[in-house]
């Protein structure tokens, strides 16, 4: 099965009626993490402050995303699993190293939700810096969760090891009332060319080509950063990490494709979405910059799919491989097909 066909099918939301659980997704963005869970049959409800990200979530997922700015006093509906990507200011460049006492930090909100709901499973992701220079803060959060009674496992995982065509390192923390493990790496890596297919060679009047001055700017950037290999998108291997900055901004580090005639153009929204493993039927709200920002901030959905599978195994044992589960999934996919049948590939 080709990569795009695979994610278009496997990442379709459905309801597994054996799962009497609800997933609460905090700081949900456009729904990349929730999509991985809904693709395994989980019911979700989410909270996100950004208007366009919340609209994107509601366009594509079965669960509802509430547009709201969360606080430690927020009250949530009952949920058995709490997930999310809390924003973390205490160890940013402008942070003051205040840890859980920093009012700008999302982790006190995440921990308050866990304390309020006492879910069976908790899971969050964050940038790689949380495991290195700022490991002290990771320990604060983990210690708080352990005091709530959770067995915690965490590690730096790369989405490229979970069938995402992009090098994207993230700290993943998972906890449960009983021992739970992080997912094992997949045996297959996906190249950017496998994800983009014919899109990589296409261009039209709307394509954004690099000008001569931009080419010169990029050359100076790569020389200054001692870049040996040009940072164009190489179709024979996974992409570099996608960020809001290198997707939406005209920077020296911007993502771009070199065409056969030597010209270089910037990625389209759909191409960026594919490199993040979003299915082609997934529609983004907002203007181009807002869509790029949603993609750059998202948890790669197929990475989330592997994380959700591990949670499901914890809840259901090894039923993931049983024929009864496959039959249940097919019935639910058929039932929800009308939601997606009108959606076609949109090369934005």
DSSP 49-89: S-HHHHHHHHHH-SSEEEE----TT------SEEEE-----
Res 312: pLDDT = 97
Per-residue model confidence as pLDDT tens digits over 242-277: 999 999 888 888 999 999 888 999 999 999 999 999
- Give bridge partners of residue 23 from the DSSP assignment: 44, 81
Per-residue model confidence as pLDDT tens digits over 190-248: 999 999 999 998 888 888 998 888 888 888 888 888 887 778 999 999 999 999 999 98
Q: Give, as one character, the DSSP assignment of residue 279.
A: -
The answer to whether residue 65 is catalytic is no
User: Taking the domains of the chain in order of start, what are their residue ranges?
Assistant: 3-189+300-340, 192-279+285-291
The catalytically annotated residue of 30, 65, 88, 227 is 88
Cα 61 to Cα 24, 49, 55: the distances in Å are 13, 17, 10
Confidence class of residue 307 from pLDDT cuts 50, 70 and 90?
A: very high
Q: Does domain 3-189+300-340 have CATH number 3.40.50.150?
A: yes
Q: Write the CB contacts of 15 (distance below 8 Å, at least 6 apart in sequence).
A: 41, 43, 62, 332, 336
Query: What is the separation of C-alpha 107 from the centre of its chain, rounded to a whole number of angstroms?
Result: 18
For 5, the token pair is 């066909």
């Amino acid at each position: 099965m080709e990569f795009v066909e695979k994610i278009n099918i496997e990442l379709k939301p459905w309801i597994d009626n054996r799962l009497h659980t609800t997933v609460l997704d905090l700081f949900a963005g456009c729904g990349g993490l929730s999509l991985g869970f809904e693709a395994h049959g989980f019911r979700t409800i989410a909270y996100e402050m950004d208007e366009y990200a919340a609209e994107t979530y509601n366009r594509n997922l079965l669960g509802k995303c509430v547009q709201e700015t969360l606080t430690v006093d927020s009250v949530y509906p009952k949920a058995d699993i709490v997930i999310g990507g809390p924003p973390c200011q205490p160890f940013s460049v402008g942070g003051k190293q205040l840890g859980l006492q920093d009012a700008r930090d999302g982790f006190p909100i995440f921990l308050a939700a866990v304390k309020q709901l006492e879910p069976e499973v908790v899971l969050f992701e964050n940038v790689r810096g949380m495991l290195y220079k700022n490991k002290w803060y990771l320990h604060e959060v983990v210690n708080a969760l352990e005091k709530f009674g959770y067995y915690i496992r965490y590690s730096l995982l790369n989405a490229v090891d979970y069938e995402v065509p992009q090098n994207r390192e993230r700290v993943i923390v998972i906890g449960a009332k009983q021992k739970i493990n992080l997912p094992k790496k997949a045996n297959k890596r996906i190249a950017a060319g496998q994800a983009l297919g014919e899109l990589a060679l296409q261009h039209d009047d709307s394509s954004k080509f690099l000008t001569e001055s931009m080419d010169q700017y990029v050359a100076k950037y790569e020389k200054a950063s001692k870049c040996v290999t040009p940072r164009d998108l190489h179709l024979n291997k996974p992409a570099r990490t996608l960020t809001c900055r290198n997707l939406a901004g005209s920077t020296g580090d911007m993502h771009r494709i070199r065409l056969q005639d030597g010209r270089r153009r910037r990625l389209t929204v759909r191409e960026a979405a594919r490199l993040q493993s979003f299915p082609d039927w997934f529609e983004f709200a907002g203007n181009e910059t807002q869509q790029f920002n949603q993609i750059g901030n998202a948890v790669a959905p197929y990475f989330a799919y592997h994380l959700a599978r591990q949670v499901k195994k914890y809840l259901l044992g090894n039923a993931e491989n049983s024929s009864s589960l496959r039959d249940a999934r097919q019935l639910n996919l058929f039932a929800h097909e009308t939601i997606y049948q009108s959606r076609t590939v949109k090369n934005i």
